[in-house]
Structure 1
């Protein structure tokens, strides 16, 4: 038989397509051998997005994916999806407060919404300075942080504020707008 697509060779020789989906729902496809280390996929994805791979977390069915694993070891099939999230910005290490999800500094997810309506989510501790969120957002969007203004209920947020100071709760939204230059006539 000359059609190799109908055969399933042993040892991970048949390539499969893996979909990597970001927080905004955008998908990037990679065709890889079942024996390829996931680190190669993740590094290629980070390169395409222009983001440091160390600031990303890759999840499969809610579990972190090890960079040394392979599609074969993960039992991935053609067109399976891996979710990509920006890793937590700032705050304490994962071990601190991990036992009690209701601790005062438990991570919350905040949504940053731009003028086009696009949302970017960040999982941060309530004690994290907003400066870290602003810098991570600007870096992800490829914009100078000085050109952006972040607002909560129409009021400008300071870099030194924290979610706790702003009384932000899980899934709260802040708005991001481009700084207006010039004035009125």
Structure 2
């Protein structure tokens, strides 16, 4: 049923959650952009994961297999890391 609605939540690195109720026929990109607007983030500056796997940015929520009560983790990408010389 294309008009079925599910409730999913976004959880950021600070542990804050935002709940949304959406149709499974909604485009994922629209959902992710909506989250960014609500949180005053620029789309593309954060990554979205479901159970450790990056959420695709194309297709619908139903096509991606998102289910009721799923939690999407919102993560700011980390660049760089430790020292370039492993002996440090």
Please give the TM-score of this superposition, normalised by the length of structure 2. 0.81
Which residue of 1 is the match for residue 9 of structure 2? 111
SS of 1:171's partner is coil
Q: Could you tell me which residue of structure 2 aligns to residue 178 of structure 1? A: 76
User: Which runs of 5 or more structure 2 residues have no equivalent in the other structure?
Assistant: none
Other-structure match for 1:133: 31
Say what the alpha-carbon RMSD is for the aligned residues. Answer: 1.6
Q: Secondary structure at the match of 2:44?
A: helix
Q: CA shift at 1:183, angstroms? A: 5.2
Q: For residues 24 and 73 of structure 2, what CA distance do their matches in structure 1 show?
A: 18
Report the CA distance between 1:163 and its aligned residue: 2.0
Give, in angstroms, the shift of residue 142 of structure 1.
0.8
**TM-score normalized with structure 1 length:** 0.41
For these two proteins, the number of residue pairs brought into alignment is: 83
CA distance in 2, matches of 1:132, 1:179: 21
Regions of 4+ moved over 2 Å = 181-185
CA distance in 1, matches of 2:4, 2:36: 24
Choose 1 or 2 for highest CA Rg: 1
Counterpart CA distance in 1 for 2:3 and 2:45 is 30
Q: Do the aligned partners of 1:149 and 1:177 also contact (CA within 8 Å) in 2?
A: yes
